[in-house]
Copies of this chain bind each other. A is one copy, B any other.
């Protein structure tokens, strides 16, 4: 059996190595268009920023290693320029020699990845505008920044050393790579403007959660420009760039990063005549097989099922790509492995914080017209508050109203985020309900958690709602209710809510007569804990009451409109 693997990073490399382990006799040819196989493209933003200084540390495995350890014919700088799926051949061009050869295959695996989107805007090809996708991309960015620095001929006494030192960076696009590049540039001492066409950064998050990220960026000196698309680029008289936006602004830039997103590379799919999905990725079944039974595909270029939403998705992430490569190898070796689909777990470091999500967002639920869900916001400490270094976590949990199934979670914070998002991710994978979260036994010692972990708390709050113990509402529902604030006067002096009536919780039992029996009372405090106690008191005294989830804390980052 001869297997040709096209693309030697993530999914392709995983498939090649796994296939060799399963089948010593298979003839395996792995070709990679670029100069490197199996490199760590997730590390590229950090290489640009300097926290990974050495380019070579990004090279996980070499061509030589694939040959010597895996007995795989591995060829870099080698591109597929034609596929004949009837004859089962591929035409390969060696970019170093120009030579073209034709190879036969029994099975073909396509792992071409994705390409950064470069819209055909005026000035898009000006020097100084970069994408971040490959090792050479990172090298070019570093060289651009260093070259500019080298041109600086002044010194600190004459004050003229700033003339051509790069000062301004513009990052276009506020997704994962955009945010990582923002951080990298800030760490290099640049002034950074982030331009995002949508009305929020980090699209997997719901907007009110993204607001916290935007504030965090601003706090770190980043100029955040939302709801404004890039219209073009031009050179200024002093030789630097300007980024022009649809709203008519011009942002100075010594370097521009395009991080608008990626699109699946489908040139190979077209050559092979295989089916594409509606999102433009290759269509595969759960065995990672394309519409051609002898052609498999994995990685950024395929559409996969999100098993939480049930919808097709493009998930350009390393984890799924690696797992898919492994599964394709299994199937090629005649095993019955299946890809379960993805649940959209992801995380992004941003300065001291981590931004993470798993499962489905409220935005997606709304797009799908799904109304069988409830949501909660909570703001627990990352670990016991009395132990130094505890930070507030912000958690949004989405779950089925009808049965408590966990649908999605979004977790932000400066400590303890991976611990929580992974617990939610495992819970979603295993079809847990919020009732399971109530009972989860997660690790606890004061430096790492609390006797009731934030994950337990999320489960308890959600279960209180579904058991009918705590009717809940949200700020967007508070137009016509009677607003009751159970905080102390000192807290209200700092920030009051217009129109709210104040009865501090300790006085509530003795002042019930002041509350209306004919209106829905919507109660809040700082974090929704005291207002939960108030909700219980009022319910048992015959009032119609709801607790405002997250209370003042969720109010502080609610999305308008």
**Bound Cα distance A356, B447 (Å):** 13
B-facing mask of A304-318, CB < 8 A → 1, else 0?
Answer: 000000000000011
The answer to whether A441 and B319 have CB atoms under 8 Å apart is yes
- Kindly state whether residue A261 has any CB partner on chain B within 8 Å: no
- Kindly state whether residue A216 has any CB partner on chain B within 8 Å: no
Shortest Cβ distance from A68 into B: residue: B506
Residue from B22, B317, B384 within 8 A of A42 (CB atoms): B384
**Bound Cα distance A445, B202 (Å):** 15
Residue from B429, B442, B447 within 8 A of A441 (CB atoms): B429
Which of the listed residues A22, A40, A530 has the most CB atoms from chain B within 10 Å of its own CB?
A40
**Bound Cα distance A532, B17 (Å):** 12
Q: Which residues, 404 to 460 on A, are CB-close (under 8 Å) to B? A: 416, 418-419, 421-423, 425-427, 429-430, 432, 436, 438-449, 451-453, 455-456, 460
Residues in B with CB closer than 8 Å to A447 are 349, 354
**Bound Cα distance A234, B177 (Å):** 65
Known: A24-B536, A452-B319, A506-B69. A346 touches B443 (CB 8 A): yes
Q: Determine, out of A29-37, A50-58, A118-126, A476-484, the stretch whose residues face the partner at the interface.
A: A50-58
Shortest Cβ distance from A532 into B: residue: B21
The answer to whether A345 and B443 have CB atoms under 8 Å apart is yes
The answer to whether B429 and A347 have CB atoms under 8 Å apart is no
Q: Which residues, 107 to 166 on A, are CB-close (under 8 Å) to B? A: none
Shortest Cβ distance from A176 into B: residue: B445
- Kindly state whether residue A509 has any CB partner on chain B within 8 Å: yes
The answer to whether B421 and A43 have CB atoms under 8 Å apart is no
- Kindly state whether residue A102 has any CB partner on chain B within 8 Å: no
- Kindly state whether residue A323 has any CB partner on chain B within 8 Å: yes
Shortest Cβ distance from A40 into B: residue: B386
B-facing mask of A7-37, CB < 8 A → 1, else 0?
Answer: 0001000000000111111000000000000
Residues in B with CB closer than 8 Å to A537 are 24
Q: What is the minimal beta-carbon distance from A19 to any residue of chain B, in angstroms?
A: 11
- Kindly state whether residue A541 has any CB partner on chain B within 8 Å: yes
Q: Which residues, 447 to 497 on A, are CB-close (under 8 Å) to B? A: 447-449, 451-453, 455-456, 460, 469
Residue from B57, B347, B426 within 8 A of A423 (CB atoms): B426
Please count how many residues in chain A sit with their CB below 8 Å of the partner chain's CB atoms. 88
Residue from B23, B43, B356 within 8 A of A386 (CB atoms): B43
- Kindly state whether residue A224 has any CB partner on chain B within 8 Å: no
Residues in B with CB closer than 8 Å to A22 are 469, 536
Residue from B345, B425, B432, B441 within 8 A of A320 (CB atoms): B441
Residues in B with CB closer than 8 Å to A373 are none
**Bound Cα distance A134, B509 (Å):** 34
Q: Which residues, 359 to 413 on A, are CB-close (under 8 Å) to B? A: 384-388
**Bound Cα distance A442, B24 (Å):** 31
The answer to whether B349 and A40 have CB atoms under 8 Å apart is no
Residues in B with CB closer than 8 Å to A419 are 418-419, 422
Residue from B52, B421, B440, B442 within 8 A of A388 (CB atoms): B52
5 new A-B pairs (CB below 8 Å) besides A418-B419, A426-B442?
A: A318-B451, A323-B456, A345-B442, A347-B444, A347-B445
27 interchain pairs, CB-CB under 8 A: A10-B451, A21-B469, A42-B444, A42-B445, A42-B451, A43-B387, A43-B446, A52-B387, A57-B385, A57-B386, A71-B509, A318-B444, A318-B451, A319-B441, A319-B456, A323-B452, A344-B441, A346-B444, A416-B418, A421-B443, A422-B442, A423-B423, A423-B426, A426-B426, A426-B430, A430-B432, A430-B436
